[in-house]
Structure 1
Amino acid sequence: MARRSTTPPRVHSARQGAVSLGLLLLAGVLLAFAYWEVVRGPNPRHQPAVLPVNVEISRAGLAVFVAAVVIGVAAVVGIAALDSAASMRVLSRQSAVPGRVPARVRGRRLTGSRRVRARMVLLSPPLARALGVDRVPETPLLAIPSGERPPDVRIRCTVLVPAHDEEAVLGHTLASLAAQDRRPDRVVVIADNCTDATATVARAAGAEVVETVGNTEKKAGALNQVLAGLVQDADTHEAVLVMDADSTINPEFLDRALGLLEEDPDLMAVGGLFFGEPGGGLIGQFQRNEYGRYQRVVARKLNRVFVLTGTASVIRAYALRTVSESRGTLIPGPHGKVYDTLAMTEDNELTLSLKTLGARLTSPPECRVTTEVMTTWRDLWRQRLRWHRGALENIGVYGFTRATAIYWGQQLGLAYGVLALWSYFLLLTITLLAADSIRWSPFWVTMGMVFVVERVVTVWAVGWRARALAAPILPELLYSAFLQVIFVTSIIEIVLGRKAGWNYVPRPAVNAVGVLLAVPTITSLGILLPTSVLYTDWYAALSAWVALNTFVFVGLSILQVLPPMRRWIPRRRTAS
């Protein structure tokens, strides 16, 4: 019978996921080598007979055979990784069980034990032990309360608003809570090391005020101090709205969010869709366009949550308690803490923790939150650097698992976007500097018009200013390049081990002026580079690479413009 593993399942899942991904990459390299060998063709020289059997084993055939074996091993390890991931899903009724699984069920061994025996046979015991697939992970207890749900249950909602020197904007936040169609049961402002009148503004608006004591861990530490007592004794009918002090929510927010939690006992959290506040000039409009496209993507994916935004999200109290109790074993972080204070982006990390534990989340279009936009390029740089670096560090801590696979894919997509865009810039620059004249291609102009249509359609709901900014393409192209530089910088800082900083932006009653981007016009065609450059092999290869990327992004743009292909999905499974 298979032995139970004493290693935390999160470690098993991350290791096995990384091994499985690495093996698949190795198989891809082998198949690419085989393809290269076939394309190169046979050696035209005379081939002697081979003894004792006149059969030559080609390098391409051997590479394909080894790749097939590697893919088989990757599949076995990948299934083991999914088993380990399933053992952490304590907030999903489909994965966890009410109690520990016995060694035998009705005289038969566990399915997991049979799987382990199959792995031992397929891989051999030494290899199975080396890959960590020779044991059955412990099956944790179900964290969702059992028993029948009382009819017409009403969820009580406590609002937590962490605030650090937010007297200038806190009043608007509390006013939006007072204007809710369904008022919260309790509003608590967490005054974190404030030196202004934040606490006075909160009390004047009728909110409770809790001042942090010795907190040096920013927003996450402030929330942990209050949540430690709030969720510990909370029952199954309590929820917490965590909301930023510089954000406001629409009047229907709480009514819709709490209604969804009351309708579906297996739904753990409802996140808001964030919109950028008015103002900020050109840089503010860039951000509003960006947020508008994100809202459209979420809606096209049936309200599935990518990040449970820290600007405003409603979470079941017992789900937060489960997170704190699971840290250090099932998920990373100090045991007993709801938020991991080492994470730069605490909302992204909490999303990963809830998804790892099997929680279902949703972001309905009725739950709208308006948040601040950065008004200077410097502030935007610092904010996005924290976002990118926090996201990379979070998935690095969690590893490659079932819950993080989509986030790893997103980072790879961003990296591919960097290569594609800057390759285009390089090709365009070389062409303009080396060509004697320019001839417009109707085919590629048509491809460019696809991008124009996609840019305008995806921000149509944001307003006429958004459409006017998106139509020329070039401004948003430069904005994307700016964000990509931040992404690359975040990777460099992680590799070099540089210490990260926190992006606190004070909100005085003055308007910052953005820096305008200027692009020099190249008029010296064919002067700085010889025309012969356009006939080199490397220029042809660069052109082919850019053309391939263009086709890829044209296809993605068409998919964004077309109506979403909504397949039938049961109502209770429309959130993730």
Structure 2
Amino acid sequence: MPHVVALIPAHNEAERIPAALEALARQERVPDAVHVVADNCSDDTAAVAARHGAHVLRSEDNRHKKAGALNQALDRILPDLADDDLVLVQDADTALSPTFVTSATGAMAAGVGAVGGIFYGEGGGGLLGLLQRIEFHRYAREITRRGHRADVLTGTATMFRVATLRQIRQARHDGRIGGGTSYYSLASLTEDDEITKAVRTLGYRTVSPVGCDVVTEVMTTVPKLWHQRMRWQRGALENLRDYGWTPVTAPYIVRQAFMGLSVVFLLLYIAFTCWMFARGRPEFSHFWIAIGLLFVTEKVVTARSAGWRSQLLAATLAVELLYDMFQHAVYLRSLWDMLHRREESWRAT
């Protein structure tokens, strides 16, 4: 049976890391070793992690945030592991379901290079938190509907085969994949999105099976959410630019193009609605009323797993429409900044 080693990068996570470590201790199959990578911490993260039984690795002169800390830790632990062993990388603000390790290990069939988690939002955060939870539940539903294929190996929790990590590093050394010469790219704002493309470029499948649920932090303020989504969107666009058009990236590029079209169509819809009301007497046809009801029904049905409060919110349509407009603003700003080569800095959220 392969060894399972858990790796948790943490920057000033003294308050949140106990829950992450306790969830690992409750696994049906407890990892053989748990390492917490204390990265430039100014709080008691290392001491708290040690009290909860984790082995603490401290990063040294790391200026590359999470990716740099993970690369240093992998350099230390991989020499002692066999190719068939498994490395679980998870965020310090995330709690894994008790079945995660068992399910991820079981999904490591031939041709699978990594197994990603299916993330849900934790409670709290008011209306903003509820909107994120609805979004995450819809994403989880989408993963199930496409046969548990993972288009992004989420940074919240992903299990890698050691051999895959070694091949990624070698591919970067050989120049077949960019982003430096280590495991995680140092050139990407979204290291999880980039390493997904690296794994799939090497010919492996990425999956998110049943049982790999995780609960992670939601952003509680609009500025935090803005910075998080700007990093996600800008990173995704830049990763596609760096990889170019390939059989792996083609579906991602098409999806980004459709996102752009959705922005255009929403703006046209709003402009048309405003024009109708400006005329003083808007006209409603049975056809467009039916289309609107169909749209509301889809929103309500896809929010079902998030609970009845989420379904009520989805039924109003207006609040989620504002949330969609926020997401579109992030997309447009990210595209504009990338086209004008404006630097996007990594910010902790």
The reply to whether TM is greater than 0.5 is yes
**CA distance, structure 1, for counterparts of residue 280 and residue 294 of structure 2:** 28
1:361 is displaced (CA, Å) by 1.4
Equivalent in the alignment of 2:319:
475
The one-letter code sitting in structure 1 at the alignment partner of 2:309 is R
In the TM superposition, residue 239 of structure 1 has moved relative to its aligned partner by 0.5
Partner residue, 2:27 = 180
Q: Given residue 37 of structure 2, which amino acid in structure 1 is its aligned partner?
A: I
Q: Percent identity over the alignment?
A: 42
Correspondence list, 1:99-138, <5 A = none
Alignment deviations for residues 134-161 of structure 1 (CA, whole Å, 9 cap, x no partner): xxxxxxxxxxxxxxxxxxxx12100000
> What is the CA–CA distance in structure 2 between the aligned matches of 1:232 and 1:353, rounded to whole Å?
21
Cα distance in structure 2, aligned partners of 1:389 and 1:458: 27
Specify every segment of 5 or more residues in structure 1 that has no aligned partner in the other structure, as ranges: 1-153, 506-576
CA contact (8 A) 1:271 1:361 kept: yes
Which residue does the alignment assign to 2:179?
A: 333
RMSD: 1.0
Distance, in Å, in 2 between the alignment partners of 1:329 and 1:438 is: 60
Pair 1:322 & 2:160 matched:
no
- Tell me the distance in 1 between the aligned counterparts of 2:280 and 2:180: 64
**Can you list the C-alpha shifts for 1:122-177, whole angstroms capped at 9, x where unaligned?**
xxxxxxxxxxxxxxxxxxxxxxxxxxxxxxxx121000000000001000000000
- Shift in Å at residue 233 of structure 1? 4.8
Q: Which of 105, 109, 123 is matched with 1:278 structurally?
A: 123
- Check if 1:362 corresponds to 2:203: no
Post-superposition shift, 1:498?
A: 1.4
**Secondary structure class of the residue paired with 1:206:** coil
Count of aligned pairs: 348
Partner of 2:190: 345
Alignment of 1:372-387 (within 5 A): 372-387=217-232
Deviations 1:478-497 (A, max 9, x none): 11011101110001111222
Equivalent residue, structure 2, for 1:309:
154
Q: 1:217 — aligned with what? A: 64
Once the 2 structures are TM-superposed, how far is the Cα of residue 415 of structure 1 from its aligned partner?
0.3
Q: Which amino acid aligns with 1:205?
A: H
Aligned mates of 1:270, 1:253 — CA distance in 2: 10
- Which amino acid in the other structure matches residue 418 of structure 1? V
Q: Which residue of 2 aligns with 1:155?
A: 2
1:211 to partner: Cα distance: 0.5
Shift, 1:231, TM fit: 2.6
- Tell me what 2:85 maps to: 238
Give the corresponding residue for 1:165. 12
User: Matched residues in 2 for 1:226 and 1:159: separation?
Assistant: 11
Deviation at 1:232, TM superposition (A): 4.0
For residues 196 and 112 of structure 2, the distance between their equivalents in structure 1, rounded to whole angstroms, comes to: 14
2:304 alignment partner in structure 1: 460
Deviations 1:9-39 (A, max 9, x none): xxxxxxxxxxxxxxxxxxxxxxxxxxxxxxx
TM-score normalised to structure 2 length:
0.98
Aligned equivalent of 2:251, options 384, 398, 406: 406
Equivalences for residues 50-65 of structure 1 within 5 A: none
User: 2: distance between equivalents of 1:346 and 1:465?
Assistant: 34
CA distance in 1, matches of 2:125, 2:335: 28
Q: Which structure 2 residue ranges, 5 or more long, are not aligned?
A: none
Hey, which bits of structure 1, 4+ residues long, moved more than 6 A? none
- Where 2:12 maps in the other structure, the secondary structure is coil
Asked if 1 retains the 8 angstrom alpha-carbon contact of 2:103 and 2:210, the reply is: no
Asked whether the 8 Å contact 1:231–1:320 carries over to 2, the reply is: no
- Tell me if the contact between 1:231 and 1:318 (Cα under 8 Å) persists in the aligned partners: no
Task: Name the structure 2 match of 1:535.
Answer: none
Tell me if structure 2 keeps the 8 A contact 1:379–1:503: no
Scaled by the length of structure 1, what TM-score is found?
Answer: 0.60
